[in-house]
Structure 1
Amino acid sequence: MKRHLIAIAAAASLASGAASAQDEPLKIGAAVYGLQAEFMQIWSAALEEHPAVESGMVDLTIFDGRYDALVQQEQFETMITQGFDAIIFVPIDIEAGATAVQAAADAGIPVIGSNTRVNSDLLTAYVGSDDVQSGYMEAKIVLDAIGCEGNVVIIEGPIGQSAQIQRLEGNEKALAECPNVTVLQQQTANWSRAEAQTLMENWITAHPGEIDGVIGQNDEMALGAIEAIKAAGLAVDDFAIAGIDGVTDALMAVKRDEMSSILQDARAQAQGALDLAIQAATEEDHAPMSDIWEQYPDMAWAGGTEAEYNVPWTPVTMENVDALLERRQ
């Protein structure tokens, strides 16, 4: 009788183990270029708040790429060795990131791109926003404010990242419409507020009284320029300043009428990418779990079969800034 009970217990244990194995959470990694600035912190927090992560359906690991393509490559190798089911990729370098995607593809692991692009046709899908469009929009805001005449400076993102390349393309498209505007200086500050402040301090010294507008390819760098202007004892409202992302400090600066910003929806990019990663990992029809698909009805889920999903930009205005700030509470 005792042996019979042991046999039953063993069978039950095996069945339980089989059920557990079947119900194991999907192991999904997110390789992001860096977590130092607020935008990618917002993006990462949104990923952790996805219903599939909160319910335990997905076991999520976020890797900080530390703004280094080699570090991201090593993180891909770790995920491949550990048998991750899918990877979400936000690359620091449009070209170097292709090697990592190739390695994952060779291992049979689907890769979903988000926010920044990689020059590879092996991505399962991409969820992001049109950076050429945002670059044009922010530059046009600055150029309209200075009446299409005068001098501007451009503070660029990390050289070789898709957002830097495409936002610059948009910047230049707007500048081509204003032949009487001169670009006095143009240099990278690597998405960093501190680096941008140093650049702007140097430019104010080199071009006293000559700079009319500042085109910052992200908000952090536009905010750094504002800090430099204030430190120099100059009036911020003597400059037309624009950035991209809609980070919290930029929203506050818009409210103070110190700059313009264009909101990049980190939550939609991150959670949309995770829905697509689940679809790719299970190879089944997956009903998307995030509410972002209702938020942007023009960005149709389409069964998760599209190669690209384009999240719209939202210009930050005096009319919507308070509502946007409330979302950060």
Structure 2
Amino acid sequence: MTFKTFATTASALALTVSLATGATAQEEPLKIGAAVYGLNAEFMQLWAAAAEQHPAVTSGLVDLTVFDGRYDALVQQDQFETMITQGYDAIVFVPIDVEAGATAVQLAADADIPVVGSNTRVNSDLLKAYVGSDDVQAGYMEAKSVLDDMNCEGAVVIIEGPIGQSAQIQRGEGNEKALAECDGVEVLEKQTANWSRAEAQSLMENWLTSHGGDIKGVIAQNDEMALGAIEAIKAAGMNVDDFAIAGVDGVTDALMAVKAGSMASILQDGAAQAQGAIDVAVKAVKPDYEPMSEIWKKYPDMAWENGENAEYSVPWTQVTLDNVDALLAERQ
């Protein structure tokens, strides 16, 4: 993923998008910061790229900086302090920790800077709004896919996201909801791999050594970890087709794996989450602003409501053989 300009602050490496085209000499661009939990993996890279491509950014109305939180709540808090000191107009927040992120939101609120949540949640009632997807539903959908493939019989392992992040907590709730519907399924192992393909591969290698052929299903709370489990299965000389595997996000390699029949995935529309959050953030600063992103047309059931809703829920899309080619084409 290539970004335009990099800026170094005291606390983090940030991407600065400063496009003056269309801005007038009389009107300075709005300074909006996007504090995301980390940019190592494809999903958040797609989220950040969509934020960069928002019409308000490309037209020069918004000067956008995307901060890499490096999967650390303290780094994210430092970035909030930097944005407050530098007089940002609004912040879009994708927190690594549902509880720790509340301190950063409080700091911004004390400085009268509106904060819009996106993708992952923070336990704060000070957000202007939240633009994301229902992770409980995603956790249920992915687990049900695995359990249906297993006919509700056998043993599964669960690979969790970072402990304490809202997606890990809520997808876990969805996983448990689906498991409660299958009395014949045993959970052999449950552990975090921190959204990492490499960590998940190592974890799965250990579990295959411990449990041999007893594992019939893998419920991975994101696609990267599902892909890591697939690599471990292949490295062990086992047949991926003997396992039911599912993840969440719809990253490119996962779409290819769905096409190959190796796993199931649920697409999370990070582009809609990012662009919707920017529209809401601009509206919080400019009361006469009308949304510029096309995502409101793409999801007409997610009504704009003058940017005043407390929550905007972006729908999930089950990846299937019928839609996977079209989804891959969108990545070109």
TM-score, scaled to structure 1: 0.93
Unmatched segments (≥5 aa) in structure 2: 1-22
Alignment of 1:247-326 (within 5 A): 247-282=251-286, 284-326=287-329
Pair 1:212 & 2:213 matched: no
Deviations 1:6-40 (A, max 9, x none): xxxxxxxxxxxxx9664100000000000000000
Q: What secondary structure is seen at the aligned counterpart in 1 of 2:214?
A: coil
Structure 1: 4+ residue segments shifted above 3 A: 19-22
Shift in Å, 1:285: 2.8
Query: Aligned partner of 1:238: which letter?
Result: D
Pair 1:29 & 2:15 matched: no
Alignment of 1:1-329 (within 5 A): 22-282=26-286, 284-329=287-332
Give the structure 2 partner of residue 6 of structure 1.
none
Q: CA RMSD in A?
A: 0.9
Q: What secondary structure is seen at the aligned counterpart in 2 of 1:209?
A: helix
In the aligned structure 2, how far is the partner of 1:22 from the partner of 1:33?
A: 35
Query: Aligned partner of 2:114: which letter?
Result: P
Deviations 1:93-138 (A, max 9, x none): 0000000000000000000000000000000000000000000000
In the aligned structure 2, how far is the partner of 1:197 from the partner of 1:281?
A: 45
Query: Aligned partner of 1:131: which letter?
Result: D
In the aligned structure 2, how far is the partner of 1:144 from the partner of 1:325?
A: 25
8 Å Cα contact 1:241-1:260 kept in structure 2: yes
Identity in percent? 78
Query: Aligned partner of 1:146: which letter?
Result: M
Query: Aligned partner of 1:71: which letter?
Result: V
Query: Aligned partner of 2:54: which letter?
Result: H
In the aligned structure 1, how far is the partner of 2:329 from the partner of 2:270?
A: 16
8 Å Cα contact 1:150-1:212 kept in structure 2: yes
Unmatched segments (≥5 aa) in structure 1: 1-18
In the aligned structure 2, how far is the partner of 1:323 from the partner of 1:20?
A: 39
Query: Aligned partner of 1:164: which letter?
Result: Q
Greater Cα shift, 40-49 or 19-28: 19-28
8 Å Cα contact 1:29-1:63 kept in structure 2: yes
Shift in Å, 1:180: 1.1
Query: Aligned partner of 1:296: which letter?
Result: Y
In the aligned structure 2, how far is the partner of 1:177 from the partner of 1:261?
A: 20
Higher helix share: 1
Shift in Å, 1:179: 1.3
Query: Aligned partner of 1:244: which letter?
Result: V
8 Å Cα contact 1:285-1:303 kept in structure 2: no
In the aligned structure 1, how far is the partner of 2:25 from the partner of 2:81?
A: 24
